[in-house]
Amino acid sequence: MLLMEMMRTALTPEKLAAFDSFIDGLPDGYQAVVRSGLSQQARILGAQLEPNDHIPRPLERVYGVVHERIVRGEIVTNGQSLCLLQVDEILRNEPGTRVNVSDADGDTQPQYQLRLTFLTGTTDRKPLEDFATLVNKELSADLRKFILGSQRFEDLKNEGGQPPTAPTHSELSLASELIDKSVRTLAVAMKAVGGLLVSDLGNQLPGRSQGEVERAKNSLLQTGLAVSEVVVICRKSQAQIACVPGRETLEDVSRLSVICACGRAYLDERIEEALNVIDATRALLDSSRWLSLIVLDELLRLGITLDQIRIDQVRGGDELDAFVNVSGELVLFEFKDKRLSHVTVVSDLIA
């Protein structure tokens, strides 16, 4: 999984020189990729580096309606992650469609802005926190996370609906067990008919080996998705006449001389072990809530905030399983047949 996070802060003009000395004096463990690359090229080609060769030629760009010019840049790595640093000189910034949603700068843009883009192949954001702390200390800066906004996401959001709440640890641990198709098939069947006899579990998983059925059963019990019950079945009518938590309860009931309508004592009837799902499992299976929680957890781990996510929305009769602002792109998720079937980036759709 690729993780990208962006941070930025205002920078006073005096800090431009401090930026250069910060890069020149990076602590052990960090390497300035651009500067070291230039030095190596110069050494190999026998060329002389000028003092300002590492400073990019002012590159002016128009991004939405923001006009800016990159005046400093460097790529810093610790070997595992990349930190792209750039200093922009803000030339003009008018209210426009590509809005910043994490803070309200309005028209009080600083003259210079330091931007840090962090890239890594894992979801470990500790290197980012460490590096941001270092930058803040050395440049007396105050880097804040920012995200790009999406006008299409804002429009959909404004039609109503609330951001989701973060899943609890116990919800997530149960939901992640339901990813297993055999476990889920059994849980869905138990929910539908109010429990299953252990001897019937195999019928719910046609074509699966006995070992696979046993594995799914153990998984249901060990994770707490289901509990074991004892079922009493009348030998005469074949109807289920009682369901108790354990055999001890059955013995207690029998001591009270409770008997079946056919005249037999409970302990003389057919006694079978059954499994049934608990209420929390039923709630997770309703409208495939477990899948929404898994997707939500993945999005949060990618650094997307709850406010930029809407899940299980209905719009004019159309069910939208989830829509999310991912770095300025509106992304739609569609869950079909209890599995994730589509992820659509709206700009791709339009293109």
Rounded to the nearest 5 percent, the helix, strand and coil shares of the chain are 35, 30, 30
- Collapsing DSSP to helix, strand or coil, 325 comes out as strand
Distance of closest approach, residue 249 Cβ to Zn ion, in angstroms: 18
In this complex, which beta carbon is closest to Zn ion, that of residue 179 or of residue 239? 239
Q: Using the minimum distance from each CB to Zn ion, give the nearer residue, 193 or 265.
A: 265
Residue 258 in the binding site for Zn ion (CB under 5 A): no
Q: Looking at 147, 260, 309, 324, which residue binds Zn ion (CB under 5 A)?
A: 260
Segment near Zn ion (CB under 5 A); pick from 83-91, 119-127, 264-272, 293-301: 264-272
Find the DSSP H helices in 196-338.
201-204, 210-223, 247-255, 279-285, 289-301
SS3 label, residue 11: strand
Q: Which stretch binds Zn ion (CB under 5 A): 113-121, 184-192, 223-231, 232-240?
A: 232-240
As measured in angstroms, the least distance from the Cβ of 201 to Zn ion is: 24
- Under the criterion CB under 5 A, does residue 265 sit at the interface with Zn ion? no
What residue type is 240 in one-letter code?
Q
Among residues 111, 104, 102, 110, the alpha carbon closest in space to that of 145 is found at 102
State in angstroms the smallest separation of the CB of 194 from Zn ion: 20
The answer to whether 186 and 178 are in contact (CB under 8 A) is no
Q: Closest distance between Zn ion and the C-beta of residue 258, in Å?
A: 12
Where does this chain touch Zn ion (CB under 5 A) — which range of 6-14, 79-87, 174-182, 257-265?
257-265
Task: From 17-25, 26-34, 236-244, 309-317, give the range in contact with Zn ion by CB under 5 A.
Answer: 236-244
Closest CA to 137 of 227, 269, 18: 18
| Candidates 11-19, 207-215, 252-260, 282-290; binding stretch for Zn ion (CB under 5 A) | 252-260
Number of residues that bind Zn ion (CB under 5 A): 5
Which is it for strands 270-277 and 240-244: parallel, antiparallel or unpaired?
Answer: unpaired
Give the one residue of 59, 166, 193, 262 binding Zn ion; rule: CB under 5 A.
262
Residue (49 or 262) nearer to Zn ion, CB: 262
**Whose Cβ is closer to Zn ion: residue 268's or residue 329's?**
268
Per-residue string for binding with Zn ion, 85-124, x by CB under 5 A? ----------------------------------------
Contact (CB, 8 A) for 276 and 265: no
| Cα atoms in the 13 Å half-sphere on the side-chain side of 202 | 7
DSSP 8-state secondary structure symbol assigned to residue 38: H
In 3D space, the residue among 109, 19, 17 whose CA is nearest the CA of residue 63 turns out to be 109
Evaluated on CA atoms 200, 203, 207, 208, the torsion sign reads negative
Restricting to residues 7-46, name those near Zn ion by CB under 5 A: none
2-10, 190-198, 261-269, 275-283 -> range binding Zn ion (CB under 5 A): 261-269
Q: What angle do CA 347, 83, 85 make, to 5 degrees?
A: 85
Nearer to Zn ion, 92 or 236 (CB): 236
Cβ closest to Zn ion, residue 171 vs residue 269: 269
163: closest CA among 297, 290, 313? 313
SS3 45: helix
Q: Which residues bind Zn ion (CB under 5 A)?
A: 234, 236, 260, 262, 264
